[in-house]
Structure 1
């Protein structure tokens, strides 16, 4: 078989716009195809030039790693690279493939294709902050989410390979600065060379990495490349054997968004726990287990919301001055084995809480409007600060309240997880639109974070609920009592009323009343119950309480014990 025939076979196999053949020195020995599309010149002018002259400088390490790792009979790609144009502004992104045919083991055939209607060409590449063009943890998670969503229509099976490089920190510490930097650049390039498009590889932690690729693509070339790189750099010649685990990006009926929520949540949990979080098999096996378990939990949580598999309960909030009922906080309770705290926290951390919050609000509004509901019933519903970070969610809340104007003064919103909100001026604008409709707003867990007084300065609300940490110590610690006294005094001057939660005994209630706290909540006044009922403590006569129909619902308090 002639060399010319072999070249045409490679060209046909690649189905590319341009075929470039490289000799052992990395020079173009042959070129055929539409070179003018990429370089504005004839393919014959490419012959004799080094491949580095044709590739954008930032992508040269990627191509170098790919070429060095290419075995006889092996193939790499496609990866997305930029070709070097005559001027920097005309550099073009292309899909790049490379193969080393058995008939010509000393030559590498490189196939270049245009990015036209590719599913990934319109996806914005985030800024690489790591060595060798690697993405950070969050950037890789976000980009993977977008590509998984784009690939669904193409029926393309994708996988995320997680790598742990035990001893990498030690190895870098044994090298001088320049050598350590060069090693990390080469490791980054090797990971990018194995990724789907050269842009979906990242670093999660000091010794933890990952890259997205087609599910059926072997990963041994990347592993071998890293083994060789670390062995060459190691003065002792030992190197590092990467621990790897592949996680396919499909899971039953779970949407790509749900899959990536699971992946991102698992990455966060794994990197938080480090080696202490590992199960048998190391961190890679732990990551695999976390992803699979999280996918199952997300799927189960979605089904639970869809089928109303939890119920509404009510906990009374009373006036400390005379123990009279003021309103009820609406909470959610799940199946017996599921902790409300854990369920809501999981929804918060996986991004599921927005749908959950708006569904609860809609359910509670419908319950209050029902003919069988006592019109005296007043309730508060929790809204996560994470949810309010979404413009779409904030708009849905406004729309729901606008549809129920008669519920003003009967429905209040408690903002939980306020520490998650960074743009306080934006949040205050949302709060004021809610208050203008006649619905009161309470800031929950006040005092739990160092920025609580900053929130009070920036947000004009009707109530603040003092965190139970201070309430439990009001009789034991004079400093905590002084904190509550100062907070109550400040709130009075600002025209903001106060609520104390987790009140367990009459002495705590009396101390808080003396300080000036207006309302109280806790087991002293009643545990959450299926119906809004309240029996005053301390032998006071029972009072008639408003009624509501027994309903199923989707959201309420945040705490497992106290709501």
Structure 2
């Protein structure tokens, strides 16, 4: 029998454990926290993060090292870290000696069984890795969470980037039933603190601390690695809500996790599938999730889109929509100039979303011609006041179709008497590619006596290219600039320059979304001729207009009230 030599077992020292944790975390700087949350040990490149030696960190509280806005996130990590557990990486901002050296780092933390009262925190520099190239969107609220759209965009970008890596991602949705009632029982400070801590718990469970969001008052979600357990986040939120409402039992989150496997989807398909998933959750709760990952979700999106296409087509075919009227007035004397005709659908359908859907699915041409025919029929109806003058919207994408352009010209040719009563507004919601061809169509329309307006001017980067290439009668200034004309001198200067340019080109100007007397007065002073907005009237079923009494008028304008619509200005409505 061979003899076995037994070597003495070396005692495991605290220093050894520290280096084990350092190796486990694999980072640029290791910081060990004691039970009181103070730094008991630090080793590594502290100078690149804090501009000071690591020895100077010992004895300081972790809160003194983390930027104030990210302190709730780190606190949630520390509180939820079980023995043997690990969190991270998440993106955290550090607090340096000077604000200009504050840096974003990747933060990891673990609590080893050998030292259950200690937390090893590992800090790593951000590199040009898979996710550091994805620009983090700005959180929409004090709880550090993204809104629905921002989370959808960021999730889609990260999922698309992960296709080149061996990384499986998932999106977990949480409903917190009763959260609104709970907040209502708290004072403002307590409610705000609760939401900050819930936001921190969600961010702590997310992929990098930046991929968590709030969809509605009681609906949340976060992106994470698919293999990462989600119970910790749910338990942390339940604990937080129970502590906030000591008389209650807290809120038990309802969660649903959906794997974000991209499969063969293109980047555009990923974006659509991710946003469709989030929209379904926001509208129908966790039960609305689609099983089978993004590929199955995209199939569901295709099916839902086909159903909408069929429904939209039936609506157009059966003329199952209505038109409403919003007044457009002369700012100089508040007299009615004409009405814009707008389309309305069933109560739960947004007109903007319906038109965008029609553009994206190729149905906008059918819809635009249906609206034009409906308006022409209304204007020539016996019961319609012959003085009524309107403008109707036509999508730039529709005018890009030879068939549609021919239908428009045929319709206008059949109604020559409407030349002074009907104008066309070209919307800029869809990209117009061939401006030379479009201008030829516009000029044929104008030669028939119909005026043409370029809508939403300034909303797109190509606006001035359109104005240079298209000879039109009117330009409608986008409401974004109108809303800021009194607040931002840059936007005011842009409107002034636009008005002056249009004056030199012989093009008149309209401003939309005017809501206050002050905005109307400022735009009139700049030289804008016409105005539209709730100050003058909201869209209504009948073309009615009552001038706002508080809108100032210039006495010098009174002799000029003989405009082409003099017979029915203030008598309407």
Sort the TM-score into its range (normalised by shorter chain).
0.5 to 0.7
- 2:54 — aligned with what? 43
2:404 matched to 1:402? no
Residue by residue over 1:115-136, the C-alpha shift from the partner in whole angstroms, topping out at 9 and shown as x without a partner, is 0213333444333342432233
Task: Answer yes or no: is the 8 Å Cα contact 1:33–1:43 preserved in 2.
Answer: yes
Query: Post-superposition shift, 1:73?
Result: 1.4
- SS of residue matched to 2:173: strand
Quote the residue 2:340 is aligned against: none
Residue aligned with 2:143, SS:
helix
Paired residues for 1:93-492 under 5 Å: 93-265=104-276, 267-268=278-279, 271=282, 278=284, 283-288=285-290, 295-296=298-299, 298-299=301-302, 353=360, 385=427, 388=429, 396-397=431-432, 399-402=433-436, 432-433=467-468, 435-436=470-471, 470=541, 480=542
Deviation at 1:98, TM superposition (A): 0.7
Kindly state the Cα deviation for residue 208 of structure 1 after the two structures are TM-superposed: 1.4
Please give the secondary structure, in 1, of the residue aligned with 2:207: coil
TM-score by length of 2: 0.58
Rounded Cα–Cα distance in structure 2 between residues aligned with 1:121 and 1:21: 26
Residue 428 of structure 1: CA displacement?
A: 7.7
In 2, distance between residues paired with 1:494 and 1:267? 52
Higher relative contact order (CA 8 A, sep 6+): 1
After TM superposition, the structure 1 stretch with the greater mean CA deviation from structure 2, 39-48 or 429-438, is 429-438
Give the Cα separation in 1 of the matches to 2:76 and 2:473: 63
SS in 2 for 1:97: strand
Verify: 1:5 aligned to 2:38, yes or no.
no
| 1:295–1:46 Cα change, 3 Å | same
* C-alpha distance in structure 2 between counterparts of 1:117 and 1:354, whole Å: 38
How far apart, in 2, do the equivalents of 1:450 and 1:439 lie? 16
Report which stretch shifted further, 157-166 or 422-431: 422-431
- In the superposition, relative to structure 1, how do residues 409 and 289 fare at CA in structure 2: closer, same or farther (>3 Å)? farther
The SS at the match of 1:41 is coil
The 1-side partners of 2:148 and 2:356 are apart by 16
Conservation of the 8 A alpha-carbon contact between 1:66 and 1:193: yes
In structure 2, what is the Cα distance between the partners aligned to 1:152 and 1:343? 35
Which residue does 2:33 correspond to in 1? Answer: 22
Does residue 62 of the first structure (1) align with residue 73 of the second (2)? yes
For 1:298 and 1:185, the matched residues in 2 are separated by 34
CA distance 1:100–1:119, change in 2 (3 Å): same
SS, match of residue 132 in structure 2: coil
Shift of 1:350: 7.1
Q: Give the distance between the partners of 1:300 and 1:432, measured in 2 at CA.
A: 40
Indicate how the Cα distance of structure 1 residues 405 and 314 shifts in structure 2: closer, same or farther if over 3 A, else same: farther
Relative distance call for 1:354 and 1:37 in structure 2 (3 A) is: farther
Equivalent residue of 2:42, what SS? strand
1:428 touches 1:459 (CA, 8 Å); kept in 2? no
- Rounded to whole Å, the distance in 2 between the matches of 1:110 and 1:47 is 13
Helix, strand or coil: the match of 1:7? helix
Cα offset, 1:26, TM superposition: 1.5
Conserved? CA contact 1:245–1:288, under 8 Å: no
Retained in 2: the 8 A contact 1:409–1:440? no
Give the secondary structure class of the aligned counterpart of 1:84.
Answer: coil
Q: Any conservation in 1 of the 2:171–2:222 contact (CA below 8 Å)?
A: yes
What stretches of structure 1 of length at least 5 have no aligned partner? 272-276, 305-309, 317-340, 442-448, 461-466, 471-479, 485-492, 497-563
Query: Are the aligned partners of 1:10 and 1:109 in contact in 2 as well (CA < 8 Å)?
Result: yes
**Could you say if the C-alpha distance between residues 356 and 84 of structure 1 is closer, same or farther in structure 2, counting changes exceeding 3 Å?**
farther
Residue 202 to residue 435, structure 1, CA distance change in 2 (3 Å): same
Match of 2:93, SS state, is strand
When residues 34 and 72 of structure 1 are mapped into structure 2, their CA distance, relative to the original with a 3 A threshold, is same
CA distance in 2, matches of 1:63, 1:27: 13
Q: How many equivalent residue pairs? A: 426
CA–CA distance in structure 1, aligned partners of residues 143 and 183 of structure 2: 15
Distance 1:236 1:343, change over 3 A: closer
What is the alpha-carbon distance in structure 2 between the residues aligned to residue 239 and residue 378 of structure 1?
65
CA distance, structure 2, for counterparts of residue 296 and residue 264 of structure 1: 14
Partner residue, 1:535: none
Q: Residues 158 and 434 of structure 1: is their aligned pair in 2 closer, same or farther, counting only changes over 3 Å?
A: farther
- CA–CA distance in 2 between the matches of 1:124 and 1:62? 19
The CA distance in 2 between the partners of 1:211 and 1:415, in whole Å, is: 48
The correspondence for 1:71, drawn from 71, 76, 82, is 82
* Secondary structure at the counterpart of residue 436 of structure 1: coil
For the 8 Å contact 1:130–1:203, the answer to whether it is kept is no
Contact 1:262/1:350 (8 A) holds in 2: no
CA RMSD of aligned residues (A): 5.5
Distance 1:25 1:403 in 2: 73
Q: How far off is 1:298 after superposition?
A: 4.6
Q: Distance in 2 between matches of 1:368 and 1:100?
A: 69
User: 5+ unaligned residues in a row in structure 2: which ranges?
Assistant: 1-11, 308-312, 320-347, 366-394, 414-423, 477-511, 531-537, 547-561, 566-573
Contact 2:276 2:301 in 1 (8 A): no
